[in-house]
Amino acid sequence: MTFEVTILGSNSALPAHGRHPTSQVVNQNESLFLVDCGEGTQMQLSKYKIRRSKINHIFISHLHGDHYYGLIGLLTSYHLLKRMEPLHLYGPRGLKEIIDVNFKYSDTRLVYPLNSHEIDCAGNDIIFESDQLTISTLPMNHRIPCCGFLFRQKQSGRKILAEKIASYQIPHSTIPNLRKGEDIQRGEHKIPNDELTTDPPLPKTYAYCSDTLYTEEFLNLIQGADLMYHETTFMDESKGRAELTFHATTLQAGLIAKKAAVKNLLIGHFSSKYEDLNLLLEETKSVFTNTELAEEGKVFKI
């Protein structure tokens, strides 16, 4: 089952060095979830051939422009392209007002249903749930209300061994029970479940930690995550500037990854002062080896 994240934008504050402001798209079994939407995100979706019609849920971490200035353009394009499917938008208080005032003056009445969900950035709430996935908020510590998002796959049922089902002539109606782990009773004789199934894959977790000052507040919520994205606006030499602007450094992101015992770390939200990102990568790796750069267009399996 696909569970991966594609990077659309990796820069902080403003576009620079060919890098775009923050945006990512999470693909869970061909359902696409857009996370943040800096200016130019719709162009990036086209560039990387991501089918925007498959996005039904958009999550905005906070209302600094580098995380949402591309949203109004994307919403408008959906309208012009005559989208029918409802779109769910999750973001902090104020996002709906911003959209409404734009559409008031352009006299736009969207042709598709836009369902706005206001999120509480201080909480750890499940804001989306399907039979395969939950998405919950992670409290960040930023200059304005800001949250991260935790994508957690649900445990799927046991994996059916098709050839065994055939050879035992097991009726298809019993498969849901087999998935749950039940045995098959045939008169006196029992066919044990593990003769017919194998363990399902372990559910995976992706933690998107948006703009934040170094904080351990969400550490227990992301323990053991398969992949964590953590902002690394600055290198260690600028940790004073990071603190002033409520951002994190390479070493701090590495430390969080280590303390949370995540499997892999993805760093992004780079300051425009850095053209060569390898310096940030090396510095983060000095604390946490399994680190990669959130480079635009790259796809990371979770």
Please report, as ranges, the residues that interact with a second copy according to CB under 8 A: 13-16, 20, 39-40, 42-43, 46, 63-65, 69-70, 72-73, 76-77, 80-81, 92-95, 97-98, 101-102, 104-107, 143-144
Shortest distance, position 95 Cβ to a second copy, whole Å: 8
For a second copy, give the closer residue by CB, 19 or 230: 19
For a second copy, give the closer residue by CB, 25 or 75: 75
Say how far residue 97 (Cα) sits from the centre of its chain: 24
Are 141 and 246 in contact, with CB atoms under 8 Å apart? Answer: yes
Residue 100 among the catalytic residues: no
**Active-site residue, selected from the candidate residues 66, 125, 211, 236:** 66
Shortest distance, position 73 Cβ to a second copy, whole Å: 4
For a second copy, give the closer residue by CB, 81 or 244: 81
Shortest distance, position 70 Cβ to a second copy, whole Å: 7
Partners of residue 118 on adjacent β-strands: 91
| Long-range contacts, stretch 288-292, CB < 8 angstroms, 24+ apart | 288/253, 288/254, 288/255, 288/257, 288/258, 290/257, 290/263, 290/264, 290/265, 291/254, 291/257, 291/264, 291/265, 291/266, 291/267, 292/264, 292/265, 292/266, 292/267
For a second copy, give the closer residue by CB, 101 or 111: 101
Amino acid letter, 291 = T
Rounded CA-CA distance 42/279 in Å is: 29
Shortest distance, position 68 Cβ to a second copy, whole Å: 9
The Cα-based distances of 239 to 125, 202, 235, 281, 301 in angstroms read 31, 37, 7, 16, 30
Provide CB contacts within 8 A for 122, sequence distance 6+.
Answer: 139, 145, 147
Rounded CA-CA distance 248/240 in Å is: 10
List the one residue out of 64, 75, 16, 17 whose CA is nearest residue 41: 75
For a second copy, give the closer residue by CB, 111 or 144: 144
Q: How many CB atoms lie within 10 A of CB 15?
A: 15
**Surface-to-core class of residue 10, CB atoms within 10 Å of its CB (0-12 exposed, 13-18 middle, 19+ buried):** buried
Shortest distance, position 22 Cβ to a second copy, whole Å: 13
Shortest distance, position 173 Cβ to a second copy, whole Å: 49
For a second copy, give the closer residue by CB, 69 or 300: 69
Could you give the residue numbers annotated as active site? 66
